Structure 1
Amino acid sequence: MLTIIDKYILKRYLATFFVMLMLFVPIGIMANLAEQIGKMIDNEVPLAEIVLYYWNFTLVIGNLLFPIFLFLSVIFFTSKLANNTEIVAILSSGVSYGRFLRPYMIGATIIAVIMFLMNMFIVPPASVGYNEFKFKYLKKGKQDRVTTNIFNQLNETDYIYVSRFDPARQIGYNFSMERFNEDNTLNFKMAAANIRWVESDSVYRLTSYSKRKLVNGTEVIETKKRLDTIFNFKIDDLTPVSYIAETKNMFELNKFIEDQKRKGASNINSYVLVKYKRWSLPIAAFILTIIAVAVSSVKRRGGMGVNLAFGIGVAFIYIFFDKVFGTLAEQSGFSPLLAVVIPNVLFGIIGFYLMKNAKR
C-alpha cells in the first residue's frame, strides 16, 4: 500500500517527466521545422502531410529520447527535494534508503511499461510515415535501401541475384535464379537482362531470358526475348528499405528476422539489434532511475546545477556507448545481444556503486 510519501514522490516523478517531455518535444519540432522548411516549400508539400509528419516525428523522437528525459527529470526533482532537505527528513524518520527508493521503482515500472508499448506497437506504424516523408521530401534523390549486388535465398532450394535494383521503376538488372536439388546438385539456372513487376498483369517480365537445365545428363538451353512468369516473392523483397525493422511491431519483427535469416540476408545484425534495443529500453529506465537518485539525493554546494551537469554528462556517455556498440554490431560480426547488454551492464554497475555511496 502506498504511503503519503510514496504518493508524493511518485507524483513528482511522473509529473516532472511528462512536463519535461511536453517542453522539449515542441522545441525539437520547431528546430526541425526551421531546418527543413526550405525543402518543404521547394517540394510543395501539402499542409496535411506536414502535420501528419510532425505527429509521427513526435512519437518517434519522443520515444527515442524517453530514457534521457527520464534521467534528467529524476535528477531535477530529486535535487529539489535534497535542496529543501526533504530527503534528510525522510531518512531521519527511520525510512531506509531502499524503502525511500520504492516510489522511484514504481514510477520506473510505469514508464518502462509505457516505453515497452511504445516500442513494440505504437512507434512502428509512426515510423513508416516518418521515414517515407523524410525520403520523399527531405532526402529526395537519396536511396533508402541497398541497390547493388543483391543476393537472396528464397527457400531451401532457390537463390536469386540482381546486380542492381531501381526502386522507382521496380526493375532489377542482370537477374539470375538457381534451384538446387536435395543432394545440392544444380537443377536449373535462369538468367535475364532485367526483371520487372507488371502490375496490370500481375506477372514478372523477364527480358533476354535464358534457362539452362540438365535432363538425363544433357544440358538443355531455353531462350526467349521476353517471358512473363510468376515467382513466389515480391519485387520489393529483393532489397528492403534500410529502416524496415523500425516499422514492424513485436510479432512482425520476429517473423521478419526469421525470414531474413532463412534468406541469408547480409545485414541481419541490424534487424536483430533493433529487436534487442526494444527490450533493453524498459530495463534502462530502472538503471537510469537508480543512477539519477544516487547522484541527486545528496545536497551539494553547487546545488541543482552540479547535479544536472553531471546528469547531462552521464546521458551523453550512455548515448556514446550505445552508438559505438550498435555500430559495431551493424558493421562487423559483433554480437547484437552483447552490443545491447554491455552498456546496460556497465551503467548498472555504476548505478550500484553510486547507490552504495549514497547510502553512506
Structure 2
Amino acid sequence: MLGVIDKYILKRYLLSFSGILLLFIPIGIMVSLAEKIGKIIDNEAPLAEVIVFYGNFSLVIGNLLLPIMLFISIIYFTSRMASNTEIVAILSSGVSYWRFLRPYMIGATIVAILIFMMGMFIVPHASIGFNEFEYKYFKKGRSDRQTTNIFNQLNESDYLYVSSFDPERQRGYNFTYEHFDDKKQLSYKITASNIRWIEKDSIYSLTNYTKRTVKDETEYVQKKRRLDTLFAFEIDDLAPVSYVADTKNLFELNEFIDSQRRKGAANINTYVLVKYKRWALPIAAFILTIIAVAVSSVKRRGGMGVNLAFGIGVAFIYIFFDRIFGTLAEQSGFSPLLAVIIPNLLFGVLAIFLLQKAKR
C-alpha cells in the first residue's frame, strides 16, 4: 500500500522523467536534422520517409538513453527537494533512509519494465527502418554488410567462402563450397569464379563451375562454363547486414544467435553483446537511480548545479565504460557477458558506497 510520501515522490519521479524525455528527444531530432538536412535534400529523400525515420530515430536513440535521462531527472527533482529541505523533513519525521528509497525503487521498476519491453520487442522493429534509411540516404555508397573474405559454416557438414560480395548485384566472387561426410572427410568441393543470385527464378548461377568429388580415394572432376543450381543457403548467409541483431526481438535474437553459433560465425560476439545489453539496460535503471538519490538527497552549498554537473559527469563515464568494453567484446574476443557485467558492477559498487555515505 502506497503512503502519502510514496505517492508524492513517485509522482515527481515519473513526471520529471517524462519531462526530460520529452525535452531531450526533440532536441536530439533537431540536432540530427540540422546535421543531415544537406544529405536529405541532396539525395531527395521523400518527406514521408524522413518523418518515419525520425519516428524510428526517437525509439532507437530514446531507448538507448533512457537510463541516462532517468538519472538526470532524478538528480533534478531530488536536488530540488533537498534545497527545499523536504528530505530533511521526511527523515526527521522518523522515516528511515531505506523507507525513503522505496518510491524510487518502485519508479525504477516501472521504468525498467518499460526499457525491457521497448528493447526486446518495440525498438528491434524500429531499427529496421532506422538502419535502412541511414544506409540509403546518409551512408550512401557504404555497404551495410561485410563484403570481403566471408567465411560461413552453414551446419556441421557444409562450409562456404567468397573473397568478396557485392550486395547491390547480389554477386559473390571466388566462391567455394565444401561438404564433409560423417567422418569429417571431404566429400566434394565446388568452386566458381563468381556466384550470382537470380531472384526471379530463385536459383544461383555459377560461372566457371568446378566440382571435385572424392570417392574411394579417387577424385572426379566436373566442369562447366555456367551452371544454374540450388543451394540450401540464402543469399543473406553470404553477407548478413551488420545490424541484423538489432532488428530481432527477444525470441528471434535467441534463435538467430543459436543458428550463427552452429554455423561458426566469426562475429558471433557482436550478436551476443546486443542480447546481453538488452538485459543490462533495465538493471542499469536501478543502479543509476540509487546513485542519483545518494548524490542529490544531500543539501550542498553549490545547490542543484553541483549535483547536475556530477550527474552528467557520471553519465558520460558510464557511457565511456560501456563503449570501451563493448568494443573489446566485438573486436578482441573479450567475453560479451563480462563486457556488460563490468560497467554495471563498477557502478553498482559506487552506488553502494554513495548510498552508505548519504545515510550518514
Aligned twin of 1:358: 358
Cα displacement string for residues 137-179 of structure 1 (whole angstroms, at most 9, x for unaligned residues) = 0110011111001001111101000000000000010101011
Cα displacement string for residues 38-65 of structure 1 (whole angstroms, at most 9, x for unaligned residues) = 1111111111000000000000010111
Tell me the secondary structure at the aligned position of residue 207 of structure 2: strand
Pairwise CA distance, 1:216: 2.9
Q: Aligned partners of 2:18 and 2:237: how far apart in 1?
A: 40
Aligned twin of 1:40: 40
Aligned twin of 2:70: 70
Q: Aligned partners of 1:215 and 1:155: how far apart in 2?
A: 22
Aligned twin of 2:167: 167
Pairwise CA distance, 1:181: 1.0
Cα displacement string for residues 7-44 of structure 1 (whole angstroms, at most 9, x for unaligned residues) = 00000000000110001100110111111111111111
Paired amino acid for 2:346:
L
Paired amino acid for 2:85:
T
- 113-122 or 215-224, which deviates more: 215-224
Aligned twin of 2:28: 28
Pairwise CA distance, 1:241: 1.1
Q: Aligned partners of 1:142 and 1:200: how far apart in 2?
A: 26
Aligned twin of 2:107: 107
Q: What are the equivalent positions in structure 2 for 1:168-317 lying under 5 Å apart?
A: 168-317=168-317
CA contact (8 A) 2:209 2:225 kept: yes
CA contact (8 A) 2:174 2:191 kept: yes
Aligned twin of 1:336: 336
Matched positions, count: 360
Aligned twin of 1:132: 132
Q: Aligned partners of 2:187 and 2:145: how far apart in 1?
A: 31
Q: Aligned partners of 2:254 and 2:153: how far apart in 1?
A: 18
Pairwise CA distance, 1:202: 1.2
Paired amino acid for 1:65:
L
Instruction: Point out where structure 1 has 5 or more consecutive residues left out of the alignment.
Output: none
Cα displacement string for residues 185-241 of structure 1 (whole angstroms, at most 9, x for unaligned residues) = 110001111111111211111111010012333211000111111111111121111
**TM-score of the superposed pair, with normalisation by structure 2:** 0.99
Paired amino acid for 2:299:
K
Tell me the secondary structure at the aligned position of residue 189 of structure 1: strand
Pairwise CA distance, 1:183: 1.0
Instruction: Point out where structure 2 has 5 or more consecutive residues left out of the alignment.
Output: none
TM-align CA RMSD: 0.6
- 150-159 or 106-115, which deviates more: 150-159
Q: Aligned partners of 1:285 and 1:125: how far apart in 2?
A: 23
Paired amino acid for 2:31:
A
Cα displacement string for residues 79-133 of structure 1 (whole angstroms, at most 9, x for unaligned residues) = 0000000000000000000000000000000000000000000000100100000
Aligned residues with identical type, % of pairs: 71
Paired amino acid for 1:103:
P
Q: Aligned partners of 2:216 and 2:316: how far apart in 1?
A: 67
**TM-score of the superposed pair, with normalisation by structure 1:** 0.99
Cα displacement string for residues 222-267 of structure 1 (whole angstroms, at most 9, x for unaligned residues) = 0011111111111112111111111100001011111111111111
Runs of 4+ in 1 over 3 A off after TM superposition: none
CA contact (8 A) 2:187 2:215 kept: no
